[in-house]
């Protein structure tokens, strides 16, 4: 077992534990903290994959901005412990079935395409951030500009939605 | 070098857990968080395949996904605040105005 594989296993275990904890926790603020654990370990996995820029963006945007927004809203609305009725407990069984079906489907697909994926997996070591900026501002410049409109519309929409009605 | 398969399997596990949380949880904020978990799982698959193929397209797509997720979080949390204000609850079962 190489050092990289060991690091991967530790980070993967952290991510899965965080995701399970998100489901098991009753209070939304605990779920939010579990989700932060998942995001930080995913940032570590991106580093392991040689995607430094994506790892930095993951921590700044996901771990920072989005999760602060979530925690802020949880505190603003004073969210309490969630309550489960008998019907919502029943939803767990078909949900579990669906998830197992999905996992089986994905595992079968991966198992069939093993050679194809592994054949080219030795071509890392790209100048990652330089390459990303080249693609982002040359090949993907129109989608990139469109995202600024998306952000603008989202800001306007959130402001309009969250303001109090004038009475 | 960690095989790409491991990353894809981890991504599938995280996506499945996010989907289960989406179905099982009853607090609207937690449901929203499980959507973010699913987006993260997809991002991991994108980056893993980007590295496996030696191309950077996947990482650029991840940046776009993160932008869309940020916009979605802003609008979605605005809607959640509205629901909490008008229905006085965060439980999705109490939001049943369209139910017969």
In a domain, A101, yes or no: no
Judge whether B84 is closer than 8 Å to chain A, CB to CB.
yes
CATH number of the domain residue A61 falls in: 1.20.120.1200
Residues A124-149 have a mean pLDDT of 84
For residue B54, give both structure tokens.
């030696």
ipTM of this predicted complex?
A: 0.91
Report the residue from B20, B80, B84 with minimal CB separation from A96: B20
Residues B72, A7: Cα–Cα separation, whole Å: 32
Cβ contacts (< 8 Å) between B66 and chain A: which residues? 57-58, 61-62
- Mutation target among A51, A65, A163 for the B interface, most CBs of B within 10 A: A51
Residues A58, B66: Cα–Cα separation, whole Å: 8
In a domain, A103, yes or no: no
Report the residue from B5, B18, B90 with minimal CB separation from A19: B18
Q: Are A45 and B43 in contact (CB under 8 A)?
A: no
State the pLDDT at residue A156.
93
Residues A162, B81: Cα–Cα separation, whole Å: 7
Considering the four listed CATH numbers 1.10.132.10, 1.10.287.3510, 3.40.640.10, 3.40.50.800, the one that applies to the domain covering B4-94 is 1.10.287.3510
In the 8-state DSSP scheme, what is residue B55? -
CA distances from A56 to A15, A26, A40, A70 (A): 17, 30, 10, 20
Give the model confidence (pLDDT) of B44-91 as tens digits.
999 998 888 888 888 999 999 999 999 999 999 989 988 888 888 888
In a domain, A120, yes or no: no
Residues B16-33 have a mean pLDDT of 89
Per-domain boundaries in chain B? 4-94
Q: What is the 3-state secondary structure (H, E, C) of B71-96?
A: HHHHHHHHHHHHHHHHHCCCEHHHCC
- Number of domains observed in the structure of chain A: 2
């Amino acid at each position: 077992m190489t050092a990289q594989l060991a690091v991967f296993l530790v980070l993967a275990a952290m991510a899965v534990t965080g995701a399970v904890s998100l489901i098991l926790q009753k209070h939304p603020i605990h779920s939010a903290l579990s989700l932060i654990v998942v995001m930080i370990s995913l940032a570590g996995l991106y580093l392991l994959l040689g995607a430094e820029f994506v790892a930095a963006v993951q921590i700044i945007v996901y771990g920072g901005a989005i999760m602060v927004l979530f925690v802020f809203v949880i505190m603003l609305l004073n969210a309490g412990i969630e309550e489960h009725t008998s019907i919502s407990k029943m939803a767990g069984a078909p949900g579990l079935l669906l998830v197992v079906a999905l996992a089986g489907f994905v595992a079968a697909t991966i198992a069939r395409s093993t050679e194809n994926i592994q054949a080219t997996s030795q071509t890392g070591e790209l100048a990652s951030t330089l390459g990303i900026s080249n693609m982002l501002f040359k090949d993907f410049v129109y989608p990139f500009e469109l995202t600024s409109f998306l952000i603008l519309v989202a800001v306007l929409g959130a402001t309009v939605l969250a303001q109090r009605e004038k009475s | 070098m960690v095989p790409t398969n491991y990353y894809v399997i981890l991504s599938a596990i995280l996506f499945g857990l996010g989907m289960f949380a989406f179905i099982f949880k009853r607090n609207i904020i937690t449901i929203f968080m499980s959507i973010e978990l699913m987006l993260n799982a997809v991002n991991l698959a994108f980056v893993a395949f980007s590295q496996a193929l030696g191309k950077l397209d996947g990482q650029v797509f991840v940046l776009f996904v993160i932008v869309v997720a940020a916009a979605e979080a802003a609008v979605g949390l605005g809607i959640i605040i509205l629901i909490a204000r008008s229905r006085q609850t965060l439980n999705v079962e109490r939001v049943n105005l369209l139910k017969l």
